Amino acid sequence: MKRVVIASGNAGKLREFAVLLDPFDFEAIPQAALGVREAEEPHITFVENALVKARHASRVTGLPALADDSGICAIALGGAPGVRSARYAGEPGNDARNNEKLIAALKVHADHRAFYYCALVFVTHAADPHPLIATGEWHGEIIAAPRGEGGFGYDPYFLLPEHGCTAAELSAEIKNRISHRGKAIHLLTEKLRSMQSREG
């Protein structure tokens, strides 16, 4: 089984990625278990930050690496919080303060539409010139009062009109299937299959 370093310390993401990689005979190893520190995320796009994290983890370990960068983008705010989603209200990141800041920022706007975005990057080595990149979007709108006990981050305030509930009110099974990360994982799965078929 080939080892792959996961450039994340998020327990939920680590579980999802382990399931994603298992059919391809990849063993998912958290970067912390290999002594890899979190990479800087200096860029303004999710894809660039995910690529930086994947290359950093691969460079330190010499292993293939998988990384993601994700967040929420409000239409009326020009895409903010965007890549700053986890630290929107400052360091250290705090979900309650982040949500308060987003709701306050949207009060002066009639348009409360927003979407979650996820970029996944898989590199076979640190200098891989052809990384596998998969993205996913999940559209909804921001509401002023939280609903639901599940999820994390902005989920209790992220309303899905077609489902009549927030992301925090969905079961984990449904959320993982229809979310931005779920869509990106599905696409990356197809790209991994194609890569393996090319390699024979």
The token pair that represents 187 in the structure block: 């696409």
Question: CA separation (Å) from 80 to 30, 45, 74, 103, 113?
Answer: 29, 11, 6, 12, 12
Catalytic residue, candidates 69, 95, 111, 155: 69
Note if 69 is an active site residue.
Answer: yes
Instruction: Collect all residues with Cβ–Cβ distance below 8 Å to 15 and sequence separation of at least 6.
Output: none
Write the DSSP assignment of 22-57 as a string of letters: GGGTEEEEEGGGGTPPPPP---SSHHHHHHHHHHHH
Going by C-beta distance under 8 Å and a sequence separation of 6 or more, which residues neighbour residue 23?
A: 189
Residues annotated catalytic, as ranges: 69
